[in-house]
Amino acid sequence: MGLLQKHLGQLEAYSGIRRAGADPFQVAFDAVLSPTEGLINGKRVILLGTNNYLGLTFDQESVEASVEAVRRWGTGTTGSRIANGSYGAHTQLEQSLASFYGRKHAMVFTTGYQANLGVLSALVGRGDHLILDADSHASIYDGARLGHAEVIRFRHNDPEDLYKRLRRLEGQPGDRLIVVEGIYSMMGDVAPLREMVEVKKETGAYLLVDEAHSMGVLGEKGRGLAEAAGVEEDVDFIVGTFSKSLGAIGGFCVSDADDFDILRVVSRPYMFTASLPPAVVASTLKSLEKVEADGALRAQLMANAERLHAGLNALGFTTGPKASPIVAVVMPDLPTALSMWNGLLAGGVYLNLALPPATPNNRPLLRSSVSAAHTPEQIDEVLAIFEWVGREFGVLPSLDQRAAG
């Protein structure tokens, strides 16, 4: 028996998924033509499954900054910042992030995943409590494991449940850190942050907000949910990523916490991995300037989100209740989800198939996400393809059934 046979259950499920059509977990692009179009197996598809919320991956100035940096500084740093040194641009990016958020400190990680791992594992450890929304991203759960704090989960987006669980800890030693996300990556819903801040204040806990999907998307200046909800002063730590609205890769944490820089020598996912390559830092710096300066991109993004959300609901699909750049279409079961996903791809729409247990309430989802770069015509084309495929696979009533009804 081979080492991988212990995953037999998953292997069987995965084979079933592969038998149903294209492999949703191994999609390969022949080309990416723009932030909203790509080629898969020679077929042009609309990209509706990225996190490219502002469409900045092909921003001319960001691309140029990246090209110049790679020529000047080379392709990679080949090591971690504590062992092999920082480049000026790493520090510059940290200064820009601190200034963007109006915070004293910022620290950059090589991915957003590592930012959560590095920050959570260093802020709380044995004897402390980490209070997590049940629908937290895997990087938050993994950060919890790395730090050995005791994990308590509260019901998704439920401040009352959060309060109840914190009250039960009264009198126990150790620190408590609440972690919530600005926009949740599967359903696109937003945390009730003001209410959570009230709970935090009443119970003396610290609060960390992961703004991975909300940075560049929410708030007048694009700082995320804490800005939009007017509670930035009450959020102790903000974590985010460069891989979504900033169109690159990397993660960060900003804070006003005293002695913040100690993180650099206690956070293993910062210390024991190579730092961001110069080209990535350069494009991120440029894109951050755009996020700060260009509120029009955010307005366009929200208009596109509303168009897609309203259109899907008008057709009769089940989505989350509110428009958001992430619009998840709930599927009744796995076979239908697979058929729909394959049908959409064949029809010219690429989006994400999200399966339990990564999805809330164990329902399969077709996770779509819009970009400021989509045109209204592209969204309308997506809706037309959704309608056709939905009728084909019985998620929507067929036109004959409708006429009969």
**Binding to ligand PMP, residues 68-87 (CB under 6 A):** none
Nearer to ligand PMP, 11 or 138 (CB): 138
Q: Which is nearer to ligand PMP, 81 or 391 (CB)?
A: 81
DSSP for 37-81, please give it. EEEETTEEEEE-S---TT-GGG-HHHHHHHHHHHHHH-S---S-H
Whether the CB-CB separation of 258 and 103 falls below 8 Å is answered with no
Taking the complex as a whole, how short is the minimal distance between the CB of residue 399 and ligand PMP, in angstroms? 38
Helix H segments across 102-137?
Answer: 112-123
Interface with ligand PMP by CB under 6 A: which range of 143-151, 197-205, 206-214, 383-391?
206-214
Give me the residues paired with residue 179 across strands.
132, 208
Closest approach, Cβ 142 to ligand PMP, in A, equals 10
Q: Is 393 in the site for ligand PMP (CB under 6 A)?
A: no
Q: Binding pattern to ligand PMP, positions 212-231, x when CB under 6 A?
A: xx------------------
In residues, how long is the chain?
405
Interacting residue with ligand PMP among 121, 243, 275, 352 (CB under 6 A): 243
The least CB distance from residue 152 to ligand PMP, in Å, is: 19
**Of 62, 77, 157, 185, the one binding ligand PMP by CB under 6 A:** 185
* CB 181, min distance to ligand PMP, A: 5
Measured from the CB atom, the residue of 200 and 213 that comes closer to ligand PMP is: 213
Which of 50, 53, 46, 32 minimizes the C-alpha distance to 294? 53
Min dist. Cβ of residue 247 to ligand PMP (A):
11
Q: Which stretch binds ligand PMP (CB under 6 A): 58-66, 207-215, 227-235, 284-292?
A: 207-215
Half-sphere exposure of 181 (CA within 13 A, CB side): 24
Are 96 and 181 in contact by the 8 Å Cβ rule? The answer is no
The residue (of 247 and 390) whose beta carbon lies closer to ligand PMP is 247
The number of angstroms, rounded, from the C-alpha of 258 to the middle of its chain's C-alpha atoms is: 28
Single out the residue of 44, 214, 208 nearest to residue 117, CA to CA. 208
Q: Tokens standing for 113? A: 């995943």
The mark string for 103-122 relative to ligand PMP (x by CB under 6 A, - otherwise) is --------xxx--x------
- Residue among 59 and 210 whose Cβ is closer to ligand PMP: 210
- Helix, coil or strand: residue 218: coil
| Catalytic residue set | 185, 213, 244
CA distance linking residue 93 with residue 170, whole number of Å: 40
382 contact partners, CB below 8 Å, separation of at least 6:
46, 48, 308, 349, 368
In eight-state DSSP terms, residue 190 is B
- Distance in angstroms (rounded) separating the CA atoms of residues 62 and 279: 9
Phi, psi angle pair for 99, to nearest 5°: -70, -40
CA angle 266, 270, 274 (to 5 degrees): 140
List binders of ligand PMP among 248-277 (CB under 6 A): 251
Q: Residue from 57, 66, 121, 139 that binds ligand PMP (CB under 6 A)?
A: 139
Identify which of residues 361 and 398 has a Cβ nearer to ligand PMP in the complex: 361
Query: Smaller CB distance to ligand PMP: residue 112 or 188?
Result: 112
Q: Is residue 368 near ligand PMP by the rule CB under 6 A?
A: no
Among 210, 227, 232, 387, binds ligand PMP (CB under 6 A): 210
Residue 361 CB, nearest approach to ligand PMP (Å): 18
Decide: helix, strand or coil at residue 240. strand
Q: How far apart are CA 335 and CA 339, in angstroms?
A: 6
Residue 139 CB, nearest approach to ligand PMP (Å): 5
Binding site for ligand PMP (CB under 6 A): 111-113, 116, 137, 139, 181, 185, 210, 212-213, 241, 243, 251
